[in-house]
Structures are given as C-alpha cells and as structure tokens.
C-alpha cells in the first residue's frame, strides 16, 4: 500500500467515518489510545486538523512530494484549517519536503513485519524458540476446535450483513474500552466506503465464530505487489471466555500458514510494540513518524541527513558518494514492485539482491551485546555507529581502503593476525612492526608506536595467536595520545572476562572496534563482521564497501542467533570450562614446555619436540595451527568438544 491511489482510497474512507467531504478532525480523535500526541499542548490536540498524504488506516504513508504538499497546504487554507497531519511516514523516506513545508516529526510506534522465508514452523522456531512455537501451535489447535475461520471478500460483504454488523459492534466495544474516542475509524459508514471502494477486491474480512457468536473480526489487505498481507485491524470480543487466552496470537499463527500456502512472502502486523511483535515472529521493524504542522510548533532540526564524513577519511573517499543501491540501505522494499535491479524474477527469492534494511538488525546486535558481561556503556551506541561486513577480515580491508592513502604507515604488533599486514601491503601502505613484549606477549611498546606516527594502528585483543589480553592502560594511551586511528580487533572478546573497548566508541573519534560472529556466536559460515566507530567513520567505510556483501541468508542467520543468546552464552561457558581442563592437562603433559594464558577459545602451546609432535598430530588426523615460524616451537590449539580434545591428548602422548 505504497501507492498514491491506495492512499486516496483510504482518505475517502476516513472522510466517510467523519461524515465529512474532507478528512478534518482533532488529533485527540485520531490518537486511538496510543498516547502519541499526549505531550502536545491541549489546544493542539483539540484543534481541527487536515489529515493528508495518508490515513490512519494505512500502515505507512509515502512521504508526499513537494507538489503534493503544496496542494495540501492550499487545501488547508481553503478549509480554514491551521493544522496539517501526515501520519505514519517511514523514517527512511526522504522527508526533506515535509520539513521544508514546516511539518515537525513526532515519533510513533514502528511497523512490524514477519518475513516468511520458508516453512512457517521452521521460520518461527528459529526466531521465537521451540517452546513458544509449540505454545502457538497448541493454542491454534484449541481455537480451531472451538471456532471457525472464515474469510469474506469485502467486495462481497453485502451478502453477509451479519459479518458487517459484528465487525462494527466489536470495534465499537474496543473503542469504548479505550475511552470511546477512536470509534470513528471503523464505523459502519467507513466500512461501507471501504467495501465499495477500489481496495475492496484486495481486502478480506477475517471472522472467527464460536457457534453463532462472532468472537473476532478484522481486515486483511493484499499488497499491490501481490507478495504479502497487511493486517489493518483486529477486534476481539474480550467478554467471551474463549477469546481471553491467546486468541489473537493463535489467529496470527493461522494467518502465517494461510499466507505461506498462498505463496506470499510476508505478513504486516501493523504498528505496535516491537518486543511483543518479535515474540510473534516479526523480524523487520521500520520506525515511523507522524508529521504535524501546527501554529507555534517548532522543528527540532536534523532530519535523516547523512552524517558528516570523518576527518580521518582518505582524500579519495571524500569525493565519492556511497555506491549505488547502498545509498538506499534503510529503505525497506518488501511492499514495492522493484523493476530497477535487472534480475531474473522467475527463479525464486535467490534471484533477488540482498536486503539492505539492516538498521533494526544493528539495533538488535547492540541491545544483545549490551547485556553481556563487560559491555556496560554499549547501550549509548546507535545503528549509526555500526557497519556489517562480510566477516571482520573484510572490515580490515574496508577501513584501510577508506581511511588511509598510499604511503601512509600502518602499525601492527607481531605476533598478530597476518592479514592486517597482508592487506596493508596490497593497498601500498608501509607496514611498521612493533613486536609485543613481556613473558605473556601482552605488553605494547607504546612509545615506539607513537614515535612511528602511523595513520592506523591495528591491535588484536585478545591476541591471535597468543590468546592473552593487552595491557589496557597502554591501549588507552595509544587512543588518547596518537594522531592516527586505533583499530582493536575483538574477534575473541566474548571468551574473555575483561571488558570490551566497544563501550568507548562514543568517546573517541579515532577508535574503531571490529567484532565477528564467526567465533563465540558460531556463525563462521554466515560471514558476518561488525565495525563499531563514530558515524562519520562508518559513513566513510560505506563508500568503499561492496553494496550486497551481507547476504539475505547471512542476515537471517544473524537475526536468529541474536534472539537465541542463552544458547550462545551456554556454548561460551562450555568452551571456557573445556579450555581450563585442557590447559591443566597440557601443562602437566611431558610433551609440552609451556601453555600460555588464554582468554580466547584456543591455547598457544610451546612444545619440547616441535617438529616431531606436529608430524605425529598430522599422522593422527589432527590439524592444529603451526605457529612455530612466528613464535618458536609453538602451535595454536582450538578448543573442540571433549572427544576431539581427548583425541589430541592421546596423540600427544603417542608423540613421546
């Protein structure tokens, strides 16, 4: 329903509900008990307002173009109305014309969408868990035994007057429970206007009856692209005992099954509470604003413009825009007809480019890690501080390309992850090696790094391949005193009991933290890395990023894993327990000279007879990382399951 013709049809329905040729009413009547306008002056709430550009019936309203707004202003002047409301505009739309016309955004609830990417039960199991899914299925079976499920085309509603009357009655009761001010939206006149308008052929009334009593009545409209369903309204008879316990959730589950059987790809649940919608399986949440022009109402400024590019951006990046479709990364396209991408429409969803609407996914990631130990302060970050990449290794390449120019120095601290230097050399960036110091290789030579005055310093913390954490005072010194950027790769930080540096992102414009979901989160195959930095740096990274590197499959896998954090935490604890067991066993093993302390999911081990032990492990079919070339006589052992770890210990004994 992103078409102007649909909006015009709903404007006619609203006028019918008001008994007026024009959609003019007070904001108080439109609020529907949500309290969105509660903070406004009472005079503004009660003043006649022209509702334009959309309708409260509509899940979202496309932001009107300048000429449409000019016409709306002229219409308000002709009617003698001083206030104008354009409701439910997606925050991702271009709202420049609205702001230029003097309208002010007022935040409202997000629209919530359930994307059906496969079998309904499999999709829901991954999103809400098996226990909650089983509860939905059980309630659906119970309801189906008690009640019928009927769908009546609105164009044929005249043949079912009982359904029309029940729909109006239930919505009136619902309005009465909310204070009686929102009954205008689904009055008999409004329903008749909808049933005899251009949307009637795409709209159905959903009715659930227990014997002859109508217990639930709602409206479903198929999207104009034929790929999904909007749930416009649902009213339930709360006086009926059968309706009190989970009827709405059971009906939503039944709606998913109906949509999937019909070949549809999504169900739009309307505006609502995001946590509640997520518990019903929603996986796309689009922030909305009402836009209001009223006497004396001041604009807060801003308005969705790109963030100012960081001063650390390379000169070659400052003169180019974000490439192609990535400029529209926050614009959801589920309810549009996309004829812009030159793809094959006849071979299924895999023929489409990945969705780029990752704002909600970014917010979900930040909310999830903010609750983890050592992440206090992360809640101050927003989606603007985050970029998803194709693995954190891709993030290294992006930041070097976007923030350094050929000839500028990159400092690394060996022993460290070798691809830092590899990518720097590819981009013609001189590499300065400043080795780690101390028995545990956890000390930085901060003075030498600062003296080198690098454009970028890349620290691996916890370190790979050693497993130790760097001295935090030395890290802070580099961030505070250095003129260049400090990049901290925290690929293994979830296994550490020391805090993440992500909490400091908002305080330092030269700090970048790289994260990955390949290690603790168990999603190496999904190829998902995360860069956390000031928005101006994130904007620079976007200008060099391949637009579609974060695939749909990866996005779905990440979203599902982030909503199952208890399983992840349990896995981390199992790895820590097994790591400690292996460290003790290896320390006592006669083939081992030393086990380095570890805050990762691996152990760096120095061997007495390095070559002989490595040959013996290969002969036993066990692969470990041979790190002997960077740290003499060592190997890096990943913590596996107990069976694999025991096999390693047995092979080590055979090496003697």
SS3 per residue for 148-197? EEEEEEHHHHHHCHHHHHHHHHHHHHHHHHCCCCCHHHHCHHHHHHHHCC
548: nearest Cα among 366, 323, 257, 215: 323
**Digit-coded pLDDT (tens) for 438-453:** 999 999 999 999 999 9
Pairing state of beta strands 529-532 and 511-516? antiparallel
Mean pLDDT of 628-646: 96
Residue 300 per-residue DSSP state: -
Is the model's pLDDT at 71 over the cut of 70?
yes
Q: Which of 43-52, 153-162, 300-309, 407-416 has the lowest mean pLDDT?
A: 300-309
pLDDT tens digits, 597-625: 999 999 999 999 999 999 999 999 999 99
Average pLDDT over the chain, rounded to an integer: 90
Q: What is the mean pLDDT of residues 377-392?
A: 93
Q: Is the pLDDT of residue 226 over 60?
A: yes
| Mean pLDDT confidence for 625-632 | 96
Q: Omega into 394 within 30° of 0, i.e. cis?
A: no
Q: Report whether pLDDT(179) > 80.
A: no
Q: Residue 302 — pLDDT band, cuts 50, 70, 90? A: very low
User: Taking residues 355-384, what's their average pLDDT?
Assistant: 88
User: Whole-angstrom Cα distance, residue 369 to residue 561?
Assistant: 12
The 8-class DSSP code of residue 480 comes to H
Q: What is the average pLDDT across 300-323?
A: 75
Say if CB 207 and CB 314 are below 8 A apart: no
Averaged pLDDT, 541-555: 89
Burial of 218 (0-12, 13-18, 19+ CB in 10 A): buried
- Closest-CA residue to 278 (of 203, 368, 218): 368
Which pLDDT band holds residue 307 (cuts at 50, 70, 90)? low
* pLDDT band at residue 303 using 50, 70 and 90 as cut-offs: very low
Which three-class secondary structure string do you get for 482-531? CCCEEEEECCCHHHCCCCCHHHHHHHCCCEEEEEECCCCCCCHHHCCEEE
- Distance in angstroms (rounded) separating the CA atoms of residues 121 and 119: 6
- Indicate yes or no: pTM above 0.85: no
Contact 30, 57 (CB under 8 A): no
Please give the average per-residue pLDDT across 364-392, as a whole number. Answer: 92
Residue 125, number of CB atoms within 10 A of its CB: 17
At residue 305, the pLDDT reads 45
**pLDDT confidence band for 634 (50 / 70 / 90):** very high
pLDDT of 328 over the 80 cut: no
As a 3-state breakdown, the chain gives helix, strand, coil percent values, each rounded to 5, of: 40, 20, 40
Q: What is the DSSP letter of 321?
A: P
Residue 182 has pLDDT above 60, yes or no: no
Q: Residue 317: name the closest of 389, 402, 395 by CA.
A: 402
The pLDDT-based confidence of 480 (bands split at 50, 70, 90) is very high
């Amino acid at each position: 329903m992103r078409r102007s013709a649909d909006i015009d049809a709903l404007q006619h329905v609203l006028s019918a509900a008001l008994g007026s040729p024009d959609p003019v009413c007070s904001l108080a009547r439109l609020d529907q008990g949500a309290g969105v306008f509660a903070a406004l002056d009472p005079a503004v709430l009660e003043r006649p307002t022209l509702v334009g550009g959309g309708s409260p019936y509509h899940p979202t309203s496309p932001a009107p173009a300048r000429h449409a707004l000019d016409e709306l202003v002229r219409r308000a002047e002709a009617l003698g109305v001083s206030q104008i409301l354009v409701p439910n505009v997606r925050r991702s739309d271009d709202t420049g014309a609205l702001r230029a016309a003097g309208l002010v955004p007022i935040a409202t609830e997000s629209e919530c969408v359930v994307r059906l990417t496969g079998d309904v039960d499999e999709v829901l199991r991954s999103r809400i868990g098996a226990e909650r899914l089983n509860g939905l299925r059980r309630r659906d079976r119970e309801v189906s035994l008690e009640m019928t499920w009927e769908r009546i085309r609105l164009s044929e509603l005249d043949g079912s007057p009982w359904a029309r009357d029940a729909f109006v009655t239930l919505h009136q009761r619902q309005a009465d429970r909310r204070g009686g001010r929102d009954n205008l939206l689904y009055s008999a006149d409004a329903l008749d206007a909808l049933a005899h308008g251009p949307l009637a052929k795409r709209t159905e009334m959903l009715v659930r009856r227990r014997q002859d009593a109508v217990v639930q009545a709602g409206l479903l409209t198929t999207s104009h692209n034929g790929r999904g369903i909007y749930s416009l309204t649902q009213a339930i008879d709360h006086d009926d005992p059968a309706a009190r316990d989970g009827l709405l959730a059971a009906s939503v589950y039944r709606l998913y099954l109906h949509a999937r059987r019909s070949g549809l790809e999504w169900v739009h649940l309307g505006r609502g509470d995001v946590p509640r919608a997520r518990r019903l399986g929603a996986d796309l949440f689009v922030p909305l604003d009402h836009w209001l022009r009223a006497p004396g109402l001041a604009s807060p400024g801003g308005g969705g413009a790109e963030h100012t590019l960081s001063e650390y951006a390379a000169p070659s990046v400052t003169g180019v825009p974000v490439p192609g479709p990535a400029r529209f990364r926050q614009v959801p396209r589920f309810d549009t007809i996309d004829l812009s991408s030159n793809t094959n429409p006849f071979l299924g969803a895999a023929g489409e480019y990945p969705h780029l609407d990752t704002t909600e996914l970014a917010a979900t990631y930040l909310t999830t890690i903010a609750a983890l130990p050592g992440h206090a302060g992360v809640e101050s970050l927003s989606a603007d501080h985050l970029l998803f990449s194709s693995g954190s290794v891709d993030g290294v390449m992006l930041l070097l390309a976007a923030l350094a120019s050929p000839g500028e120095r990159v400092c690394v601290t060996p022993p460290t992850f070798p691809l830092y230097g590899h990518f720097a050399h590819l981009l013609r960036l001189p590499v300065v090696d400043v080795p780690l110091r101390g028995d545990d290789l956890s000390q930085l030579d901060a003075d030498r790094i600062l003296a080198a005055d690098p454009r970028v310093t890349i620290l691996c913390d916890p370190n790979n391949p050693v497993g130790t954490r760097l001295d935090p005072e030395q890290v802070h010194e580099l961030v505070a005193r250095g003129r260049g950027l400090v990049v901290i790769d925290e690929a293994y930080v979830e296994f550490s009991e020391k805090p993440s540096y992500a909490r400091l992102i908002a305080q330092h414009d030269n700090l970048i933290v790289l994260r990955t979901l390949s290690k603790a989160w168990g999603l190496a195959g999904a190829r998902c890395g995360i860069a956390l930095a000031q928005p101006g740096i994130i904007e620079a990274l976007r200008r060099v990023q391949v637009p579609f590197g974060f695939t749909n499959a990866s996005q779905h896998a990440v979203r599902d894993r982030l909503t199952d954090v208890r399983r992840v935490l349990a896995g981390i604890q199992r790895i820590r327990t097994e790591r400690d067991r292996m460290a003790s066993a290896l320390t006592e093993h006669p083939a081992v000279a030393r086990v380095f302390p570890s805050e990762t999911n691996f152990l760096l081990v120095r061997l007495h007879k390095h070559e002989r032990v490595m040959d013996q492990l290969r002969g036993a079919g066990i692969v470990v990382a041979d790190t002997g070339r960077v740290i003499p006589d060592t190997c890096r052992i990943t913590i596996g399951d107990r069976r694999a770890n025991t096999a390693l210990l047995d092979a080590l004994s055979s090496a003697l």
